[in-house]
Amino acid sequence: MRLPLCEPGYVGRSPTLDASRLINFYPELSPKTSKGPVALIGTPGLSLWTSAGASVVRGMHVFKGLLFVVVAGQLYSITALGVVSASLGQLTTSTGRVLMSDNALTVAGAGGNQLMITDGVNGYVYNVNTAAFSTISGGGWPGNPIALAYIDGYFVVAPSGSMTGYASDLYDGTTWNSLSESPVSAVADFIQGIANLQQQLWFIKQYSSECWFDAGTSPSVGFPFQRQTNAVFDFGTPAPASISRGSNGIFFLLSPRENDSGGMLGAAYISGQTFTPEQIVPPPIAYLWSQYSTVSDAFGYCYADGGHEFWVLTFPTANATWCYDATTKFWHERSGWTGNPYATARHVSNCYANFNGLHLVGDYESGNIYQMSGNTYQDIGDPIVSTRVFQPVYDAKNLSNLFFKRFILDLETGVGNSLAPSPSAALSWSDDGGHTWSSDYLASIGKQGEYRARAIWRRLGCSRSRTFRVSISDPVKKVLIGAYAE
């Protein structure tokens, strides 16, 4: 019998019901004429691109042909060759995530010169033309900014624990008029994040959201934006940093409004056309997340690569990273190396930027910046353990014993290289619903050029219900096409 490669890719409420998992593999749909309807592709690896210090990379942003990064309390710029500048300015904080935005291209002599940074305590502006770094103060600046966006020439922020939005002067993040503010208070909950989606200004709150438009009001007179008619929605987010732009929309952890309060339902995607959140998390994953002690610190980023659009979502306290593929609508887990091939941990990435055609991520433990590539098969020298735990195989008619003659893994073989001259795949299984597992049994997946190699395991005993697990940890190209139990 042929085992499904990717559906589902997550454990249910009980491993006895379904122990299925998809770790460091993502599905890719194939044409109908292909050997299989879907393949599993190994997730990208990491190699060191440059380093900007010994502390955490708190945020990255591309502006004016440079990559700007905040490491600890310092702002740096990095060239396309990876050359790191001296410090461009010092923040008053040295930990926690930062938000970064810029005032776009120069229009009629205005804009194109300011990078704005917020750290939850202060706001800062770096002028790329004059190299001046300043802390925002005075006027209508609110302080304690938890949310930041740029739209139509204005920086827009919201303070922590607030239901008010504030806008800067046109193209100038250093000047904030005290009249340029407005309550965002159709529902009495606090603003969590702000997003510019198709020239619409979204205020995403704790369990409600509002969509605003540019009304043309001068900041010297009032807030430049107004709420659209009938544009108050009963959904928000418990995790401000989960709000991520990608795939022509916004992704975020979803908290629905329930009698003027909210609870974590899962995750949602919303586009500028529908105004209706699409729940993108199946109940088993939402249940797993609900068991995490903390979800408010979750953060996400989006990137597109190889025809796929990914949303990478990390739960730092839970030490877990999940990834949604908006192209195929499938979820998978991404895990860093733990020293135990079957233990998972959060991915090393703390932030992301697409710079000079490279996918770059900042380290959550150091100032290192890594290039993420599907042609790299290790994470900075550590193994990437790609694992598929299949759905249980059993006699659906009367739960009789099944005798397993052999297990065949169909995959691209002959992928050995200098790092792994004789790569192998490991097979193990569970006969008690995924609670305990057998030892690993290895099968070769071919030295370089051995394209006719076959990964087969024989004489596998019997069981009333068996869950197979396949993993590949060698640093080689990983493309799984099918799996068969006889």
Reported as a single tens digit per residue, the pLDDT across 245-258 is 999 999 999 998 88
Is 476 or 399 the better-scoring residue by pLDDT?
476
Say if residue 276's pLDDT is above 90.
no
Residue boundaries of the structural domains of the chain: 2-43+387-485, 52-303
Instruction: Tell me: pLDDT of 210 over 90.
Output: yes
Model confidence over 352-380: pLDDT tens digits?
A: 999 999 999 999 999 999 999 999 999 99
Q: Does domain 2-43+387-485 have CATH number 1.10.3470?
A: no
pLDDT at 238 over 80: yes
2.130.10.10, 1.20.120.80, 3.30.450.40, 3.40.50.720: CATH of 52-303: 2.130.10.10
Mean pLDDT for the stretch of residues 121-146:
96
Q: What is the pLDDT of residue 70?
A: 98
Query: In sequence order, what are the residues at sequence separation of 6 or more whose Cβ sits closer than 8 angstroms to the Cβ of residue 376?
Result: 44, 45, 46, 47
The whole-chain average pLDDT of the chain stands at: 94
Q: What is the DSSP string of 360-424?
A: EEEESSSSEEEEEETT--EETTEE--EEEEPPPEE-TTT---EE--EEEEEE------SS-SS-E
Residue 211: the pLDDT is 94
The pLDDT-based confidence of 34 (bands split at 50, 70, 90) is confident
For residue range 330-360, list pLDDT tens digits in order: 999 999 999 999 999 999 999 999 999 999 9
Smallest Cα–Cα separation from 309: which of 242, 245, 236, 239?
245
pLDDT digits (tens, 9 = 90+) for 46-56: 999 999 989 99
Q: What is the pLDDT of residues 294-326, one digit of tens each?
A: 999 999 999 999 999 999 999 999 999 999 999
Single-letter amino acid code for the residue at 88? L
Q: Say how many C-beta atoms besides its own lie within 10 A of residue 315's C-beta.
A: 22
Predicted confidence (pLDDT) at residue 96 exceeds the cutoff of 80:
yes
- pLDDT at position 32 is 80
In the predicted model, what is the mean pLDDT of residues 413-428? 97
At residue 25, does pLDDT exceed 90? yes
Q: With cut-offs at 50, 70 and 90, classify the pLDDT of residue 274.
A: confident
- Burial state string for 323-336 with b = 16 or more CB within 10 A and e = fewer than 16: bbbbbbebbbbbbb
pLDDT of residue 80: 97
What are the pLDDT digits (tens) for 38-76? 999 999 999 999 999 899 999 999 999 999 999 999 999
pLDDT at 273: 75
pLDDT level of residue 160 (50, 70, 90 thresholds) = very high
Whether pLDDT at 262 is above 70: no
Q: What integer pLDDT is reported at residue 389 of this predicted model?
A: 96
More reliable by pLDDT, 264 or 183? 183
Residues 225 and 149: their CA atoms lie apart, in Å, by 13
- Using a pLDDT cut of 90, give the percent of the chain over it: 84
Tokens of 63: 């502006």
Contact residues for 98 (Cβ-Cβ < 8 A; gap 6+): 58, 59, 70, 91, 117, 118, 119
